Chain A
Amino acid sequence: DSGVTQTPKHLITATGQRVTLRCSPRSGDLSVYWYQQSLDQGLQFLIQYYNGEERAKGNILERFSAQQFPDLHSELNLSSLELGDSALYFCASSVGAVSSYEQYFGPGTRLTVT
Protein backbone atom coordinates (compact mmCIF):
# COMPACT_ATOMS: atom_id res chain seq x y z
CA ASP A 1 0.00 0.00 0.00
CA SER A 2 1.58 3.25 -1.19
CA GLY A 3 -0.49 5.47 1.09
CA VAL A 4 -2.03 7.29 -1.89
CA THR A 5 -5.78 6.84 -2.21
CA GLN A 6 -7.90 7.38 -5.28
CA THR A 7 -11.65 7.36 -5.65
CA PRO A 8 -13.62 5.99 -7.29
CA LYS A 9 -11.96 2.74 -8.35
CA HIS A 10 -14.14 2.39 -11.42
CA LEU A 11 -16.31 4.86 -13.30
CA ILE A 12 -18.57 4.20 -16.24
CA THR A 13 -20.14 7.15 -17.99
CA ALA A 14 -21.44 8.28 -21.35
CA THR A 15 -19.88 10.48 -24.00
CA GLY A 16 -20.35 14.18 -23.40
CA GLN A 17 -20.51 13.80 -19.64
CA ARG A 18 -18.24 15.26 -16.97
CA VAL A 19 -16.54 13.35 -14.14
CA THR A 20 -14.31 14.17 -11.20
CA LEU A 21 -11.54 11.91 -9.98
CA ARG A 22 -10.18 12.38 -6.50
CA CYS A 23 -6.74 11.75 -5.03
CA SER A 24 -5.43 11.96 -1.49
CA PRO A 25 -1.63 12.03 -1.27
CA ARG A 26 0.50 10.28 1.30
CA SER A 27 0.70 12.04 4.62
CA GLY A 28 3.40 14.73 4.40
CA ASP A 29 3.63 14.78 0.60
CA LEU A 30 3.08 18.18 -0.98
CA SER A 31 3.23 17.25 -4.67
CA VAL A 32 0.50 15.50 -6.60
CA TYR A 33 0.88 14.20 -10.15
CA TRP A 34 -1.78 12.95 -12.54
CA TYR A 35 -1.18 10.38 -15.29
CA GLN A 36 -3.30 8.72 -17.96
CA GLN A 37 -2.56 5.15 -19.00
CA SER A 38 -4.20 3.76 -22.12
CA LEU A 39 -3.37 0.93 -24.49
CA ASP A 40 -2.76 3.16 -27.50
CA GLN A 41 -1.04 6.12 -25.83
CA GLY A 42 0.85 4.36 -23.05
CA LEU A 43 1.53 6.26 -19.84
CA GLN A 44 1.18 10.01 -20.24
CA PHE A 45 2.01 12.65 -17.66
CA LEU A 46 -0.83 15.15 -17.35
CA ILE A 47 -0.03 17.68 -14.65
CA GLN A 48 1.73 18.26 -11.32
CA TYR A 49 0.69 20.41 -8.38
CA TYR A 50 2.89 21.40 -5.51
CA ASN A 51 1.34 22.81 -2.35
CA GLY A 52 -1.68 24.08 -4.24
CA GLU A 53 0.14 25.58 -7.21
CA GLU A 54 0.54 24.14 -10.69
CA ARG A 55 4.16 23.07 -11.08
CA ALA A 56 4.46 21.23 -14.38
CA LYS A 57 2.14 20.54 -17.27
CA GLY A 58 2.23 17.65 -19.70
CA ASN A 59 -0.17 16.42 -22.34
CA ILE A 60 -3.33 17.56 -20.63
CA LEU A 61 -6.25 18.32 -22.91
CA GLU A 62 -8.13 21.60 -22.57
CA ARG A 63 -11.24 19.59 -21.64
CA PHE A 64 -9.38 18.38 -18.56
CA SER A 65 -8.53 20.45 -15.52
CA ALA A 66 -7.11 19.78 -12.10
CA GLN A 67 -6.61 21.50 -8.80
CA GLN A 68 -5.04 20.89 -5.44
CA PHE A 69 -6.89 22.01 -2.35
CA PRO A 70 -5.55 23.46 0.92
CA ASP A 71 -5.76 20.01 2.55
CA LEU A 72 -3.54 18.83 -0.35
CA HIS A 73 -6.01 16.45 -1.91
CA SER A 74 -6.40 16.87 -5.64
CA GLU A 75 -9.18 16.49 -8.16
CA LEU A 76 -8.98 15.86 -11.88
CA ASN A 77 -12.01 17.04 -13.82
CA LEU A 78 -12.70 15.54 -17.22
CA SER A 79 -15.46 17.11 -19.30
CA SER A 80 -17.11 16.58 -22.69
CA LEU A 81 -15.92 13.02 -22.45
CA GLU A 82 -15.07 11.08 -25.59
CA LEU A 83 -14.63 7.36 -26.14
CA GLY A 84 -10.88 7.90 -26.39
CA ASP A 85 -10.76 9.19 -22.82
CA SER A 86 -11.35 5.67 -21.56
CA ALA A 87 -8.20 4.86 -19.61
CA LEU A 88 -6.68 4.21 -16.23
CA TYR A 89 -5.96 7.47 -14.42
CA PHE A 90 -3.24 7.39 -11.82
CA CYS A 91 -2.40 9.88 -9.15
CA ALA A 92 1.01 9.95 -7.52
CA SER A 93 2.48 12.00 -4.71
CA SER A 94 5.94 13.00 -3.57
CA VAL A 95 7.38 15.00 -0.74
CA GLY A 96 9.05 17.73 -2.77
CA ALA A 97 8.48 19.93 -5.78
CA VAL A 98 11.45 18.70 -7.74
CA SER A 99 10.57 15.87 -10.08
CA SER A 100 13.50 13.69 -9.09
CA TYR A 101 11.86 12.89 -5.75
CA GLU A 102 10.36 9.42 -5.56
CA GLN A 103 6.71 9.32 -6.54
CA TYR A 104 4.24 7.01 -4.84
CA PHE A 105 1.40 5.88 -7.06
CA GLY A 106 -2.19 5.23 -6.13
CA PRO A 107 -4.12 2.19 -7.40
CA GLY A 108 -5.78 4.19 -10.17
CA THR A 109 -9.30 4.99 -11.34
CA ARG A 110 -10.50 3.07 -14.36
CA LEU A 111 -12.71 5.27 -16.52
CA THR A 112 -14.88 3.74 -19.18
CA VAL A 113 -16.70 6.07 -21.55
CA THR A 114 -19.53 4.44 -23.51
Chain B
Amino acid sequence: GDSVTQMEGPVTLSEEAFLTINCTYTATGYPSLFWYVQYPGEGLQLLLKATKADDKGSNKGFEATYRKETTSFHLEKGSVQVSDSAVYFCALTNSNTGNQFYFGTGTSLTVIP
Protein backbone atom coordinates (compact mmCIF):
# COMPACT_ATOMS: atom_id res chain seq x y z
CA GLY B 1 0.00 0.00 0.00
CA ASP B 2 0.90 3.66 -0.07
CA SER B 3 3.26 4.97 2.58
CA VAL B 4 5.55 7.80 3.53
CA THR B 5 8.93 7.40 5.18
CA GLN B 6 10.33 10.42 6.89
CA MET B 7 13.67 11.21 8.45
CA GLU B 8 13.74 10.45 12.15
CA GLY B 9 14.23 13.30 14.54
CA PRO B 10 14.70 15.20 16.61
CA VAL B 11 16.82 17.65 14.66
CA THR B 12 18.60 20.52 16.39
CA LEU B 13 20.18 23.30 14.36
CA SER B 14 21.70 26.66 15.03
CA GLU B 15 19.99 29.73 13.63
CA GLU B 16 20.89 30.38 9.97
CA ALA B 17 21.90 26.77 9.37
CA PHE B 18 20.75 24.83 6.31
CA LEU B 19 17.87 22.43 6.83
CA THR B 20 17.07 19.21 5.00
CA ILE B 21 14.37 16.81 6.13
CA ASN B 22 14.19 13.71 3.97
CA CYS B 23 10.94 12.20 2.80
CA THR B 24 10.44 9.26 0.46
CA TYR B 25 7.20 7.68 -0.56
CA THR B 26 5.70 4.50 -1.96
CA ALA B 27 2.63 4.89 -4.15
CA THR B 28 1.20 3.81 -7.47
CA GLY B 29 0.63 6.39 -10.14
CA TYR B 30 1.11 10.06 -9.37
CA PRO B 31 0.21 11.00 -5.83
CA SER B 32 0.04 14.55 -4.54
CA LEU B 33 2.72 15.35 -1.96
CA PHE B 34 2.59 17.75 0.97
CA TRP B 35 4.60 19.14 3.83
CA TYR B 36 2.66 20.18 6.90
CA VAL B 37 3.99 21.97 9.98
CA GLN B 38 2.69 21.69 13.52
CA TYR B 39 3.68 24.36 16.03
CA PRO B 40 3.44 23.50 19.73
CA GLY B 41 -0.14 23.21 20.91
CA GLU B 42 -1.63 23.83 17.48
CA GLY B 43 -3.14 21.91 14.60
CA LEU B 44 -1.29 21.24 11.38
CA GLN B 45 -0.81 23.90 8.74
CA LEU B 46 -0.04 23.28 5.11
CA LEU B 47 3.51 24.44 4.38
CA LEU B 48 3.76 23.52 0.71
CA LYS B 49 2.58 20.99 -1.82
CA ALA B 50 3.31 19.54 -5.26
CA THR B 51 0.80 17.69 -7.38
CA LYS B 52 2.91 16.41 -10.25
CA ALA B 53 6.41 15.21 -10.98
CA ASP B 54 9.14 17.89 -11.07
CA ASP B 55 6.84 20.45 -9.42
CA LYS B 56 8.54 22.54 -6.77
CA GLY B 57 6.48 23.67 -3.83
CA SER B 58 7.72 26.69 -1.88
CA ASN B 59 6.57 28.83 1.00
CA LYS B 60 8.21 30.96 3.71
CA GLY B 61 11.68 30.08 2.43
CA PHE B 62 11.00 26.33 2.47
CA GLU B 63 11.16 24.31 -0.75
CA ALA B 64 10.56 20.74 -1.84
CA THR B 65 10.71 19.18 -5.30
CA TYR B 66 8.59 16.22 -6.36
CA ARG B 67 11.08 13.67 -7.72
CA LYS B 68 9.34 10.72 -9.32
CA GLU B 69 12.59 8.99 -10.25
CA THR B 70 13.75 8.84 -6.63
CA THR B 71 10.22 8.86 -5.10
CA SER B 72 11.28 11.72 -2.86
CA PHE B 73 10.02 15.06 -1.62
CA HIS B 74 12.76 16.41 0.63
CA LEU B 75 12.14 19.63 2.54
CA GLU B 76 14.88 22.28 2.48
CA LYS B 77 15.46 25.75 3.85
CA GLY B 78 18.59 27.74 3.35
CA SER B 79 18.65 29.59 6.66
CA VAL B 80 16.47 28.49 9.56
CA GLN B 81 15.14 30.77 12.27
CA VAL B 82 14.15 30.10 15.86
CA SER B 83 10.52 30.56 14.78
CA ASP B 84 10.84 27.51 12.50
CA SER B 85 10.99 25.24 15.55
CA ALA B 86 8.09 22.85 15.06
CA VAL B 87 7.22 19.32 13.94
CA TYR B 88 7.22 18.76 10.18
CA PHE B 89 5.10 16.08 8.50
CA CYS B 90 5.45 14.75 4.98
CA ALA B 91 2.20 13.42 3.53
CA LEU B 92 0.69 12.02 0.37
CA THR B 93 -2.71 11.46 -1.10
CA ASN B 94 -3.45 9.33 -4.09
CA SER B 95 -6.55 9.18 -6.25
CA ASN B 96 -5.48 5.64 -7.27
CA THR B 97 -6.04 4.41 -3.74
CA GLY B 98 -9.20 6.10 -2.62
CA ASN B 99 -7.88 9.56 -1.73
CA GLN B 100 -6.70 8.53 1.70
CA PHE B 101 -4.05 10.66 3.36
CA TYR B 102 -0.82 9.04 4.53
CA PHE B 103 1.46 10.93 6.90
CA GLY B 104 5.05 10.35 7.89
CA THR B 105 5.95 10.05 11.54
CA GLY B 106 6.93 13.70 11.83
CA THR B 107 10.34 15.30 12.39
CA SER B 108 10.80 17.59 15.33
CA LEU B 109 13.02 20.59 14.59
CA THR B 110 14.51 22.82 17.25
CA VAL B 111 16.46 25.89 16.18
CA ILE B 112 18.71 27.43 18.80
CA PRO B 113 19.89 31.04 18.72
Contact = CB atoms under 8 A, between A and B. Distances in A.
Contact of B43 (A98, A99, A100, A107): A107
A96 to B, nearest CB: 11
A80 interface: no
Nearest to B100: A58
Interface residues of A, number: 25
B43 A43 contact: no
B22 interface: no
A102 B46 contact: yes
A45 B43 contact: no
Interface of A: 2, 4, 33, 35, 42-45, 48, 55-58, 90, 92, 98-100, 102-108
20 contacts: A2-B45, A42-B105, A43-B44, A43-B103, A45-B100, A55-B99, A56-B99, A58-B101, A92-B43, A99-B32, A99-B93, A99-B95, A99-B99, A100-B49, A102-B46, A102-B49, A104-B46, A105-B43, A106-B43, A108-B43
Interface of B: 32, 42-46, 49, 51, 89, 93, 95, 98-106
